[in-house]
Amino acid sequence: MTELFELYDRHATRLGLKIEMYHSNIVDWRITIENPNGELIVNVQHCDYKYVLAKAEVGLKEWLSENNGGY
């Protein structure tokens, strides 16, 4: 879990990112990460929280590689 949050922490303030993590019996686990324009960079939902964390980390890394020159 900490890898996603460490990665986010390294870039969030400088890039103005916003992360939300949510859980309920109806929606399962969900992580969203938005850029300063409100556009979703990452939007992952699944019943397995480890899956959600891993997919969110990969999604953030891909976005940083494409839009920030790396992570």
Structural domain for 51, as ranges: 2-67
Instruction: Tell me how far apart the alpha carbons of residues 62 and 28 are, in angstroms, rounded to a whole number.
Output: 24
Q: At residue 14, what is the residue type?
A: R
Q: Report how far Cα 4 is from the mean position of its chain's Cα atoms.
A: 7
Looking at the 3D structure of the chain, how many domains does it have?
1
pLDDT tens per residue across all 71 residues of the chain: 589 999 999 999 999 999 999 999 888 999 999 999 999 999 999 999 999 999 999 999 999 999 998 88
| Residue 24, domain CATH | 3.30.160
Q: Give the pLDDT score at 1.
A: 57
Give the DSSP per-residue string, 22-44: EEETTTEEEEEEE-TTS-EEEEE
